[in-house]
A and B are shown apart, each in its own frame.
Chain A
Amino acid sequence: MSKINHSTTERVGVYVCHCGTNIAGVIDVEAVAKWAAEHLKDRGVVIARDYKFMCSSLGQELIEKDIQELGLTRVVVAACSPHLHEATFRVACQRAGLNPYLCELVSIREQASWVHTDKHAATEKAKAILSGGVERVLHHAPLDPLHVPIHPATLVVGGGIAGIQAALEIADAGFPVYLVEREPSIGGHMAQFDKTFPTLDCAACILTPRMVSIGSHPNVTLMTWSEVTNVAGYVGNFTVTVKKKARYINTDLCTGCGICQEKCPKKVIDDTFEAGLGYRKAVYTPFPQAVPKYPVIDDVNCTYFQKGTCRACEKLCPTDAIDFKQEDEIVTLQVGNIVLATGYDVFDARRVAQYGYARLANVFTSIEFERLSNAAGPTNGNIVLRDGVTVPQTVGIIHCTGSRDRNFNNYCSAICCMQSLKFAHLVKERTGATVYNFYIDIRTTAKAYDEFYQRVLDEGTIFVRGRVAEVTDAARMPNEEGKLIVQVEDTLAGRQRRIPVDMVILSVGLEPRRDSHEVAKLFGISCSSDGWIIEKHPKLDPVATMTEGVFVAGCAQGPKDIPNSVAQGAAAAARVLGRIQQKEIALEPVRASVDESKCSGCRICNGLCPFNAILFHEDRMVTEVNPALCQGCGTCVAACPAGAISGTVFSNEQIFAQMEGLLLHNIERPPMTEGVLA
């Protein structure tokens, strides 16, 4: 093979790291450095050294000294993965006065010494990798990171406990927060609950003070009955469009007295807050402690909107706050960061047809039971059957409904075990009924959870290990008449059982919001195939997303309990506050740009960008890439038939040069010898 013919005037320094024995144990690092000094001399290499630990301060000083004394214009370090130490060596170069983007770190540890056992072959591969790095770095250009100012305001989407926590933390630190909630009130699912495990404190008692703080906080702008419809911009400078749906209530005049709700003649089944067990009016607040206190008029059910008559609320409102002419309002917000706390939906129990939900009256879901047992709920906290009066004598609680099930969701919903134990305790305490828990495994892993399990065991709840096959009302025995029969294989006893009960509670799992994929698309982030939002790193960066400036908290990221949701809300707030305090953020200058003189205006690239960074100028018939929106994926670069688009850090020249280096086209070599990789 011939040698590539273009010459270079650059002065390249090559540094090969031993990494103790991590690299040197397999690769002959001294031979690699010597080879580079000898064979890559024509390629600009003026010095090639090996050193025990390049990342140590002494190793870094070695580079800095050479830059200053030998006048290096490029640096290549052959060591570990760039994801580990690229920043280290870039900063070292910068300290010595060399632009950090003229330094290239190539991985001979993760990609050679750790994955290969043949020392000779690994050493030859290390030479090739190093050669690729040298060729590539010759095509690097000095770059400056993009400095972006951070707008101090933050958007929090979702007013459940995670969003409330995030908003309060940021607001308490003195920065403005917009909290956008789709429902008429904040509070989320937690507001529906009666007790919270494992301490059994009342959900409303611990939640409502937080809700009130949000409502009255000078730094929080609360926007309920509102939805985000568009997000433009990038970290530090998002422009968010919010649709405030018409409440038909003038909130400047409304005092929240509740007379309209009292007088409204139209009763509607409340599918949202009361889970279909109770009624609300056509003008309503979801629950008495709602924040904000202003009601909304449900125009789909309101007699005035449907038939043009009634207007009872308008006549009786003491402050004339009813405004039937109100229209949706579009608001534009400027924010620097976004926290998504959009929560979850519960699994639709009708999908497990054999459990009979919605067919057998006394099969309830966990959310329905929460409302049944809630003192402010439709039965004032009395645990009764669907007829509204009969107290159950026996109750069966079925765990893992829709979770850990190949037919529905493979994952564990994390909260159902504890929720079921809580139900068992409440049923026992309030009705004295016999309680069966049907479980696959009991998962009580957080603080004080297993103690709660022990407590429920001690209270006499019966635990049957096995997945329930069927819930039926078809009696076979006299004692099954008029009952629901739970058919289950008791895997500990090793036999089939039929257990007659009066009431069945399905502990339904958590699912991503039905619109999570659309929401993810709106905010430019990604979801797993299930629909949970993907975090930047599952362990080390659980609240950041792959999109700078967009954070996630609570169940939007995956099923979790209240303590974990609160922790994530606070963690996301801490990340946002860090950003705001820094006032600006440096972004990698990996961006695409169009050479207008080459652009033919074919517009092939126009449809490829998911970030809307590509603009087409109709007047000049050329395309332009907005560097502020461009994320640097390079898809348009690859697609341009005219080669008019180039990507900094990943240009064609850099990639081709690296390829030639990897294939050792850059050196004069003897004919191929046996056993040596071409």
Chain B
Amino acid sequence: MNDTFEPVIIGFTCNWCSYRAADLAGTARVKYPPNIRLIRLMCSGRLDPTFVLKALTSGADGVLITGCHPGECHYLEQNYKTLRRYLMLRRVLTQMGIEPERIKLVWASAAEGVKLAQEITDMVEQIRALGPFKSRYPLPLNPPEVAHVQPTAERGTA
């Protein structure tokens, strides 16, 4: 594997638990690699699966999805929907010939800064081992509309 490869990971956090876990990791000065860039959502339930596909096609090598623990969702039960979408996404990625390990779901409560930092560290190493994400299909890097992201055409080039 290329030693100089530094993966870029887009991470989605919910406002109530996992973003606060990231804050806590900071306050407690827990260290993790700088390869992750976080986007705050109100709830992991806001995660549209196209966000993940868009991140991958826009240059991210992996996507981390985080939320409150099951049963602790600020919006009662929306993280269960995240879980369903995550499982679906892994299947879709596999069908597209993309390693499902490029996406990861982590539950982190507001008290779990250390856990989140560890999960990020593990994921960076995992993506580093997988190597840079190169789609098997020529994807438009900046599609004008999200709806067009999914690689439906030009399958023959795979």
A positions within 8 Å CB-CB of B:
1-2, 4-5, 81-83, 107, 109-112, 114-118, 121-122, 124-125, 128-129, 132, 521, 524, 526-529, 534, 546, 590, 608, 610-611, 631-635, 637-639, 643, 647, 649-650, 652, 655-656, 658-660, 662-663, 665, 674-675, 677-678
Please determine whether B34 and A116 come into contact, CB atoms closer than 8 angstroms: yes
- A611 vs B74: C-alpha distance when bound (angstroms): 12
Please determine whether B16 and A658 come into contact, CB atoms closer than 8 angstroms: no
Please determine whether B76 and A610 come into contact, CB atoms closer than 8 angstroms: yes
Q: B127 contacts the other chain (Cβ, under 8 Å)?
A: no
Please determine whether B45 and A655 come into contact, CB atoms closer than 8 angstroms: no
- A110 vs B48: C-alpha distance when bound (angstroms): 26
Please determine whether B59 and A678 come into contact, CB atoms closer than 8 angstroms: yes
Report A446 CB to chain B, min CB distance, Å.
Answer: 24
Q: Which of B1-32 contact A (CB under 8 A)?
A: 4, 6, 8, 10, 16, 19-20, 22-23, 25-27, 29-32
Which residues on B sit within 8 Å (CB–CB) of A112? Answer: 34
- A-B residue pairs in contact (CB < 8 Å), sample of 21: A2-B142, A82-B40, A83-B20, A107-B26, A110-B23, A118-B34, A124-B34, A608-B81, A610-B75, A610-B76, A633-B75, A634-B46, A635-B45, A635-B81, A638-B47, A638-B48, A647-B46, A659-B39, A659-B55, A662-B10, A665-B142
| CB-CB nearest 4 A-B residue pairs | A110-B26, A634-B46, A635-B45, A633-B43
- A653 vs B147: C-alpha distance when bound (angstroms): 13
- A608 vs B146: C-alpha distance when bound (angstroms): 23
- A525 vs B141: C-alpha distance when bound (angstroms): 42
Using A115-B30, A659-B10 as known contacts, say yes or no to A643 and B37 having CB atoms under 8 A apart.
Answer: no
- A121 vs B59: C-alpha distance when bound (angstroms): 18
Q: B92 contacts the other chain (Cβ, under 8 Å)?
A: no
Please determine whether B4 and A675 come into contact, CB atoms closer than 8 angstroms: yes
Contact among A132, A527, A633, A675 with B42 in the assembled complex (CB-CB below 8 Å): A633
Which B residue sits closest to A124, measured CB to CB? Answer: B34
Which residues on B sit within 8 Å (CB–CB) of A610? Answer: 75-78
Which residues on B sit within 8 Å (CB–CB) of A649? Answer: 42
Using A4-B142, A637-B46, A655-B41 as known contacts, say yes or no to A524 and B72 having CB atoms under 8 A apart.
Answer: no
Please determine whether B37 and A128 come into contact, CB atoms closer than 8 angstroms: yes
Which residues on B sit within 8 Å (CB–CB) of A665? Answer: 58-59, 141-142
Using A115-B26, A118-B34, A674-B4 as known contacts, say yes or no to A663 and B59 having CB atoms under 8 A apart.
Answer: yes
- A528 vs B31: C-alpha distance when bound (angstroms): 29
Please determine whether B22 and A132 come into contact, CB atoms closer than 8 angstroms: no
Contact among B20, B27, B37 with A132 in the assembled complex (CB-CB below 8 Å): B37
Which residues on B sit within 8 Å (CB–CB) of A121? Answer: 34
Report A656 CB to chain B, min CB distance, Å.
Answer: 6
Which residues on A sit within 8 Å (CB–CB) of B78? Answer: 608, 610, 633, 635
B positions within 8 Å CB-CB of A:
4, 6, 8, 10, 16, 19-20, 22-23, 25-27, 29-35, 37-43, 45-49, 51, 54-55, 58-60, 71-78, 81, 85, 117, 141-142, 146-147
Please determine whether A638 and B20 come into contact, CB atoms closer than 8 angstroms: no
Which residues on B sit within 8 Å (CB–CB) of A125? Answer: 34, 37
Using A652-B146, A658-B39, A659-B10 as known contacts, say yes or no to A635 and B32 having CB atoms under 8 A apart.
Answer: no
Which residues on A sit within 8 Å (CB–CB) of B55? Answer: 659, 663
Please determine whether A114 and B29 come into contact, CB atoms closer than 8 angstroms: yes
Please determine whether A650 and B146 come into contact, CB atoms closer than 8 angstroms: no
Please determine whether B39 and A132 come into contact, CB atoms closer than 8 angstroms: yes
Using A83-B23, A114-B27, A655-B39 as known contacts, say yes or no to A663 and B45 having CB atoms under 8 A apart.
Answer: no
Contact among A111, A638, A663 with B10 in the assembled complex (CB-CB below 8 Å): A663
Please determine whether A526 and B23 come into contact, CB atoms closer than 8 angstroms: no
Which residues on B sit within 8 Å (CB–CB) of A656? Answer: 51, 54, 146
Please determine whether A590 and B42 come into contact, CB atoms closer than 8 angstroms: yes
Please determine whether B31 and A115 come into contact, CB atoms closer than 8 angstroms: yes
Which residues on A sit within 8 Å (CB–CB) of B74? Answer: 526, 546, 633
- A611 vs B45: C-alpha distance when bound (angstroms): 14
Using A610-B76, A635-B78, A650-B41 as known contacts, say yes or no to A114 and B46 having CB atoms under 8 A apart.
Answer: no
Please determine whether B39 and A528 come into contact, CB atoms closer than 8 angstroms: no
- A642 vs B158: C-alpha distance when bound (angstroms): 30
- A611 vs B10: C-alpha distance when bound (angstroms): 30
Which B residue sits closest to A4, measured CB to CB? Answer: B142
- A650 vs B75: C-alpha distance when bound (angstroms): 16
Which residues on B sit within 8 Å (CB–CB) of A534? Answer: 72
Which residues on A sit within 8 Å (CB–CB) of B146? Answer: 652, 656
Which residues on A sit within 8 Å (CB–CB) of B43? Answer: 633-635
Most buried by B among A529, A534, A643, A659: A659
Which residues on A sit within 8 Å (CB–CB) of B142? Answer: 2, 4-5, 660, 665
Please determine whether B27 and A662 come into contact, CB atoms closer than 8 angstroms: no
Which residues on A sit within 8 Å (CB–CB) of B59? Answer: 1, 663, 665, 678
Please determine whether A526 and B147 come into contact, CB atoms closer than 8 angstroms: no
Report B119 CB to chain A, min CB distance, Å.
Answer: 13
Which A residue sits closest to B61, measured CB to CB? Answer: A678
Report B42 CB to chain A, min CB distance, Å.
Answer: 5
Please determine whether B46 and A677 come into contact, CB atoms closer than 8 angstroms: no
